Amino acid sequence: MKVLESLLHRIEDLGGRVRRDGRLIDIHAGLANAASIRPYLYHLLNHFERDYFISISNMAACVMPDAWDHFRQTRVRAHPDRRCASCRYAEACAGPATGQTPVPFKDAPREVAIEVTTACNLACGICFQARDGREHLPWRVLLETFKQMRHAGLRHVRFTGGEPLLYPHLEKAVLTAKKLGFQVLLNTNAALFSESKIRFFGRYADSILVSMRGCDFSSESRLTGVRADFRDKLRRIRLLASQCRHVRIGTVVSRHLIHHLEDYLCILRSTRISHWELYRPIVASSQEDYRLTRGDFIKLIRRLKRYRGSLSIKVANPVPFCLAGDSASTCHLFLGGLWDDGHTRLVLDAGGFYKPSYAMKQDLGADLLKAWRHPLMRRLRSLEYLPLRCRRCFYAGWCKGGSRQWALDSGGSLWASDPWMSHE
């Protein structure tokens, strides 16, 4: 804690203003010189973002482009610097500091998640791909997607499914993506990894996200619909963690997880994985375990709030930050809607068309930039449909008012309120 206190004092000495409230650290750059304060802000993020929600404002995000997701975008009076005209954040940025050369953010997604196949070796009740038949993305569509991504200046491609290891061209796709200079991310259930495949992906994938539904043989089998050796899965995860730069575990929250949180934490400790992502399930799951109420999720958040271990735990898809009433004491647990609902990512369906997210099936066509600029995507990103309370909320830039899919499935409209918003 002494390190944190002295870092925050240093930021204040340089002219920044620091507000602390529970797990929120809100930095207003104030009169600080961006170049002087930047190393301290990076230090703060690198060491404390696991345990705190860190927000930065009154400074141009392009000073710290890889920390863009910490910048609080507030509507300001448009600044006159013409070099910023093409920047995605031009309307919400105070502009470059004196002497700073602005580096505009492209108005394009940060990542394309490519569903290379709908085929899967498991049968999870929570799957977005529950549809008839198996469909592989044609190779020529994949190449065309890479071409469009290069043209739009994108750097990250995610291979997902179904189970992407069932895609016959996956290794060729990964090698082509690397040759084109992309960072490669892979979502997998890890069941099909042989030792040679682990070596291959350990060498070429920059980040691997492994899904884990249960915490033992019986729960993993029940939640995936397939009986498989759980100890073998853990062995593969450990091997991956030893050979790949960045491996995370992702778990869709089930009632079983809420009741057996300690068992999950114990298993995760044994894998040497440092990041655990949790996901709010879709509304219409075919499995009772995933039909969660707001009260169930609040119970989980209150338990996680007390967690003091070394694992980084984040709910990575949209959940209202105000769910449990006291946003300041639980905000560090949420990534919010940043990576969903069309805010930063496009998903390429195995049918060859772009869509706003894994769960949202709206066909946005086959042209990447046209899909990104589609009126539906613009409206999703505008947040203009949110109730006044959300639009005035400090966390709105991250929370995005919760999930559009939940709004649709339970309120009948994409533009309705998320039913898990706090009622206080």
Enter the tokens of residue 45: 């993020």
Residue 278, beta-bridge partner list: 251, 315
Q: Which of residues 72-101 bind ligand SF4 (CB under 6 A)?
A: 84, 87, 89-90, 93, 95-96
Residue 320 touching ligand SF4 (CB under 6 A): yes
Of these, 395, 403, 404, 406, which contacts ligand SF4 (CB under 6 A)? 395
Q: Using CB under 6 A, which of the segments 55-63, 149-157, 191-199, 239-247 binds ligand SF4?
A: 55-63
Phi, psi angles (nearest 5°) of residue 12 = -70, -40
Residue 24 touching ligand SF4 (CB under 6 A): no
Residue 60 touching ligand SF4 (CB under 6 A): yes
Q: Is 34 helix (H, G, I), strand (E, B) or coil?
A: helix
Residue 214 touching ligand SF4 (CB under 6 A): no
In the chain, the N- to C-terminal Cα span, in Å, equals 32
Of these, 102, 109, 125, 161, which contacts ligand SF4 (CB under 6 A)? 102
How many Cα atoms are found within 13 Å in the side-chain-facing hemisphere of 314? 20
Residue 348 touching ligand SF4 (CB under 6 A): no
What is d(CA 76, CA 79) in angstroms, rounded to the nearest whole number?
A: 8
Residue 30 touching ligand SF4 (CB under 6 A): no
Enter the tokens of residue 8: 């925050």
Q: Which of residues 352-391 bind ligand SF4 (CB under 6 A)?
A: 389-390
Where are the strands (E) in 15-99, listed by range?
17-21, 24-28, 53-57
Residue 61 touching ligand SF4 (CB under 6 A): yes
Sorted by sequence, the CB contacts under 8 Å of residue 232 that are 6+ apart come out as none
Residue 322 touching ligand SF4 (CB under 6 A): yes
What is d(CA 70, CA 41) in angstroms, rounded to the nearest whole number?
A: 10
Of these, 48, 321, 354, 358, which contacts ligand SF4 (CB under 6 A)? 321
Residue 402 touching ligand SF4 (CB under 6 A): yes
Contact 142, 167 (CB under 8 A): no
Residue numbers at the binding site for ligand SF4 (CB under 6 A): 60-62, 84, 87, 89-90, 93, 95-96, 102-105, 320-322, 327, 389-390, 393, 395-396, 399, 401-402, 418, 421-422
